[in-house]
Structure 1
C-alpha cells in the first residue's frame, strides 16, 4: 500500500482547516506534485536549510513545516536567493513542502494543545476562542494536576521543552501558587490582557518584549489587581511539540502507508547564551 501526496495534504487540511488561518498568512502546499507517491513525511517547525537537508537525508517525499516559507509576496524564486534555493533543492529532490501555520495555532487540537501536553497541563478551553463556546481559537487555558510554587512551575516548563540558548525566563514571585495557566505557542504578548481577564495564575508564551512585560507586571501595583506571572520561552521550543501532534495525526489517518518522522534539528536562531557577570548593574564586571 502507498499514499499520494494529496492524501497526506487532505489529512492535514482536515486537521488544520485553512479557513482558520489569519488573512495575512500563507498556508498549504508550497511545492510538490499531488499525484506523487509518498512513503515518508518529515515534520518540523522551520522550512530552512537544516530541515530541508534532514528531509533529503531521511528520504522523505514531503516536508511539513509550521512556519511558512513564502509568507510575504514574492515575484520569483531564483536559486541565488535563500528561499529560492530551498525551493530549487526541494523540487530537484522530489520533496513537497506543506505549511500549517496560524490554522494549526487555532485548530482543535492545535499548537497550544501540544505545548500544554508537553508541560503536563490539562486543557479546559481556548484562551481567545473564535466565537463564544468554540473550541477553536488561539492559546489554551489549562490546569495543573496540583498547585505548585511559581519557581517550580518555571522549572516544569524548562523540563518539558527542548533546550535552547534562549532558555526559559520567569517574571513573578517564586513562591506564588500556580494552579491555572494560559499557554500560547509562538509570540503571544498580544494576549497578555486576555490572559489577565481569564484570571489564570501564569501565562506561558514566547517572544515576550520588555515594555509589554514590564507594563503587565506594573499592574500588580494597582490595589485589587491580580495579573498572571509570566513565563517566556524560545519561539521554536514553544511550537516544536506540535510536530509530534501533526505526525501522529497523519500516522493515524494513513496507517501502514506512510512513515512519519519529527525533525530534532534545533532551528531556533539563537545559538549562544551568556549570563551577565555583574550582580550590581551600576558596577562593571570584574
Structure 2
C-alpha cells in the first residue's frame, strides 16, 4: 500500500503543478505525507457533501478539480464552511489534493474528457501550450464528429452525454446548421472566442457563457457568415467527465506499481443551481402586456 506522498507524486506526474496558472491554488491542501492510502475519491468540488462522501466510502485521499482556497486564507477555523471541510477531512484521516488548471492543460486533460463524452475525435488543443514540443498539451480541444449533424441534434447529444443539471444545455445558432468540427473547453470558456473563431469550427461547447461575449460572438458569426454556433452547458457538468478519466489514469498507475488502490468517482451533482423554470418559447416577441397587469 502506498503512502500519501507516493500517490501525490504520481498525481503530480499526471498533472504537473508547474503548468497551472499563476493565480491558481493546486496541490496538497491537507494530509500527512506518511499516511497509507488505499482508497481515493475524485470529485469536481470540495464541498461539504463531497467531504462527507469521502469519509463514508473510506477514502484516504479526496482529489478535486476545483480548489478549496482559490484566493488564499489566513484561517482554517471550523466557523466557516471551508474551515469545516478541512476539519472534517483531517478528523477522519482524509487528505485533499487539487488539480485545477494543471489538469486543464494536461494530456489528457479536462477537455479531452469532455470531447470523449461527446463522441469527438480530438485533433489537437485549442490553445497549444508553447512549452510542450509535442503540441498535445494546452487549453481546450478541437475535435470532429464521425459525421455532421444539425445543431439541434448536436445540442441534444451534449445534453444526453453530460450529467443532468437544473440549467440543462442551451445553444445559439440556426438549429439546422450542420455541425462536424467542434471546439470544447471544460469550465468557463468565453475568454477563448478569438481562438475558437481562428480554429474555424462549426460549434463551440463550453460553460458559463455571459450575455455580452456570447451576443457579440453570435452577431460576429452572422456577420462573417461562418463563425461557430455556441453550446452552453453547466460548468460542473462540463468538468465532471474528467473525474472518471482521472480515476482511470490513477488506476493505471496503481496497476503498474501493484498498489491495489480503490478509486471512486463522486456522482453527487454539486452544480450550485437547483431549480429551472422553463420560459415561453424564445422564437416570438415579448408580449405587449405584462401577465397579471390591467390592459
TM bucket normalised to smaller:
over 0.9
**5 Å matches for 1:1-286?**
2-131=1-130, 134-222=135-223, 224-255=224-255, 256-277=259-280, 280-282=285-287, 283-285=289-291
Taking the aligned partners of 2:221 and 2:183, their CA distance within structure 1 comes to 18
Cα deviation code 1:93-138 (max 9, x no counterpart): 0000000000000001000000000001110000011128621110
Quote the offset at 1:21 in angstroms. Answer: 0.1
CA deviation map 1:6-43 (0-9, x unaligned): 12111110010111100000000000011101111000
The Cα of 1:152 is off from its aligned counterpart by 0.5
- Work out the CA distance in 2 between the residues paired with 1:145 and 1:179: 8
Distance (Å, rounded) in 2 between the aligned partners of 1:121 and 1:198: 15
- Provide the C-alpha distance between the structure 2 equivalents of 1:244 and 1:7, rounded to a whole number of angstroms: 21
Q: TM-score, normalised by structure 2?
A: 0.93
Deviation (angstroms), 1:281: 1.8
Offset of residue 285 of structure 1: 4.3
Structure 1 stretch displaced more, 40-49 or 4-13: 4-13
Q: Given that residues 65 and 100 in structure 1 are in contact (C-alpha distance below 8 angstroms), is that contact kept between their aligned partners in structure 2?
A: yes
List, as ranges, runs of 4+ consecutive aligned residues in structure 1 with deviation greater than 2 Å.
277-280, 282-286
Measured in 2, the distance between the counterparts of 1:169 and 1:197 equals: 23
Any unmatched runs of 5+ in structure 1? none
Q: In 2, Cα distance between the equivalents of 1:171 and 1:106? A: 27
Structure 1 CA distance for aligned equivalents of residues 194 and 109 of structure 2: 22
Q: Is the 8 A contact 1:207 1:235 kept in 2?
A: yes
Please give the alpha-carbon distance, in whole angstroms, between the structure 2 residues aligned to 1:234 and 1:209. 12
Write the distance in 2 (CA, Å) between the matches of 1:285 and 1:16.
53
Q: How far 1:280 sits from its partner (Å)?
A: 4.3
- The C-alpha deviation readout for 1:154-200, integer Å capped at 9, x for no partner, is 01100100000010001000111111000000000000111011000
If the length of structure 1 is used for normalisation, what is the TM-score? 0.96
CA distance in 2, matches of 1:108, 1:20: 11
What is the aligned-residue RMSD (CA, Å)? 1.3
| CA-CA distance at 1:82 after TM superposition | 1.1
CA distance in 2 between partners of 1:219 and 1:96 (Å) = 47
